[in-house]
Structure 1
Amino acid sequence: INFAAQIGSEIGIQADAKNFGTAYSIEEKGEERNEDIQKIALLKYQTDQTIDQISRSLQEKKISAVQFQDTVRTVIETFKTTLRNDYIFRDPKSPASFFALFQQKDGLLYFNVYDPTDVKAFAAVATAYETYYPSSPYTKGIRDISLLGLAAIRREKKARNISSKAEERTIPDLTLIDRNGTPRPLSEVVKENSKVLISFTSYEAEWSPELVKDLRSLYKKYHGTGFEIYEISVDKNTYFWQNAARTLPWITVIDRDGMAPALFNISSLPSFFIFQDGELKRLHSISKL
Structure 2
Amino acid sequence: MENGIMRKICLLVLAVAVASCRHGGQFCVEGHITDAADTVLYLEHLSLGDGIEVVDSVRLGADGAFALRGDTMSTPEFYRLRIGGQCVNLAIDSTETVRVEASLRDMSFGYRVEGSGACDTIRLLCLKLADLERAVRRVADDRDYTVEERDRMIDDLVRQYKTEVKTDIIQNRYDAAASYYACFQALGGRLLFDPMADRSDLTWVRAVANAWSEKYPGSQRAQNLYNIVMEGQRLQARPREIVIDTSHSKVRELGIIDMTFPDIHGTERTLSDLKGKVVLLDFTALGLDGAPERTLQLRELYDRYHSRGFEIYQVCVDPDRHFWTQRSERLPWTCVYCEEGLGSDILTLYNVQSLPTYFLIDRNCDLKSRQEDPKTLGASIGKLL
Q: TM-score, normalised by structure 1?
A: 0.51
Q: 1:45 aligns with which of 104, 107, 130?
A: 130
- Aligned residues between the structures: 154
Q: 1:97 aligns with which of 179, 184, 188?
A: 179
SS where residue 84 of structure 1 aligns?
helix
The Cα shift of 1:16 comes to 2.3
Q: 1:67 aligns with which of 149, 170, 190?
A: 149
Structure 2 CA distance, aligned partners of 1:49 and 1:105?
11
Q: Is the 8 A contact 1:112 1:118 kept in 2?
A: yes
Task: Give a deviation string over 1:62-94, Cα, whole Å, max 9, x none.
Answer: 211121011101100001111111111221100
Structure 1 CA distance, aligned partners of 2:230 and 2:218?
18
Structure 2 CA distance, aligned partners of 1:122 and 1:6?
21
Q: Is the 8 A contact 2:114 2:120 kept in 1?
A: no
Structure 2 CA distance, aligned partners of 1:73 and 1:142?
25
Alignment partner, residue 111 of structure 1: 193
Alignment partner, residue 119 of structure 2: 34
Alignment partner, residue 168 of structure 2: 86
SS where residue 104 of structure 2 aligns?
coil
Q: Is the 8 A contact 2:183 2:205 kept in 1?
A: yes
Structure 2 CA distance, aligned partners of 1:45 and 1:119?
24
Q: 1:122 aligns with which of 194, 201, 205?
A: 205
Alignment partner, residue 274 of structure 1: none
Unaligned runs of 5+ in 2: 1-87, 243-385
Counting only pairs closer than 5 Å after superposition, residues 206-285 of structure 1 correspond to structure 2 as none
Task: Give a deviation string over 1:261-289, Cα, whole Å, max 9, x none.
Answer: xxxxxxxxxxxxxxxxxxxxxxxxxxxxx
The Cα shift of 1:105 comes to 1.9
Structure 1 CA distance, aligned partners of 2:212 and 2:93?
16
Q: In the alignment, does 2:107 pair up with 1:20?
A: yes
Q: Is the 8 A contact 1:102 1:110 kept in 2?
A: yes
Q: Over the residues paired in the alignment, what is the CA RMSD in angstroms?
A: 1.5
Structure 2 CA distance, aligned partners of 1:86 and 1:35?
14
Counting only pairs closer than 5 Å after superposition, residues 97-246 of structure 1 correspond to structure 2 as 97-113=179-195, 114-154=197-237, 157-158=238-239
Structure 1 CA distance, aligned partners of 2:176 and 2:230?
20
Q: Is the 8 A contact 1:98 1:125 kept in 2?
A: yes
**Partner amino acid, structure 1, of 2:91:** A
Q: Is the 8 A contact 1:47 1:79 kept in 2?
A: yes
Which is greater in Rg? Answer: 2
Q: Is the 8 A contact 2:100 2:111 kept in 1?
A: yes
Q: Is the 8 A contact 1:89 1:124 kept in 2?
A: no
Structure 1 CA distance, aligned partners of 2:164 and 2:103?
27
Q: Is the 8 A contact 1:15 1:24 kept in 2?
A: yes
Worse-superposed segment, 104-113 or 120-129: 104-113
Task: Give a deviation string over 1:194-214, Cα, whole Å, max 9, x none.
Answer: xxxxxxxxxxxxxxxxxxxxx
Structure 2 CA distance, aligned partners of 1:51 and 1:45?
10
The Cα shift of 1:143 comes to 0.4
SS where residue 3 of structure 1 aligns?
strand
Structure 2 CA distance, aligned partners of 1:152 and 1:6?
33
Structure 2 CA distance, aligned partners of 1:116 and 1:64?
29
Q: Hey, which of these two has a bigger chunk of helix by percent?
A: 1
Q: TM-score, normalised by structure 2?
A: 0.39
Structure 1 CA distance, aligned partners of 2:218 and 2:239?
34
Task: Give a deviation string over 1:139-195, Cα, whole Å, max 9, x none.
Answer: 1110000111112111xx216x79xxxxxxxxxxxxxxxxxxxxxxxxxxxxxxxxx
Structure 2 CA distance, aligned partners of 1:34 and 1:52?
27
The Cα shift of 1:7 comes to 4.5
The Cα shift of 1:15 comes to 1.1
The Cα shift of 1:136 comes to 2.0
| Runs of 4+ residues over 6 Å off in structure 1 | none
Q: Hey, which of these two has a bigger chunk of strand by percent?
A: 2
Structure 1 CA distance, aligned partners of 2:153 and 2:93?
40
**Partner amino acid, structure 2, of 1:32:** G
SS where residue 100 of structure 2 aligns?
strand
**Partner amino acid, structure 1, of 2:239:** K
Structure 1 CA distance, aligned partners of 2:93 and 2:156?
37
Task: Give a deviation string over 1:119-154, Cα, whole Å, max 9, x none.
Answer: 011100100000001132101110000111112111
Worse-superposed segment, 72-81 or 62-71: 62-71
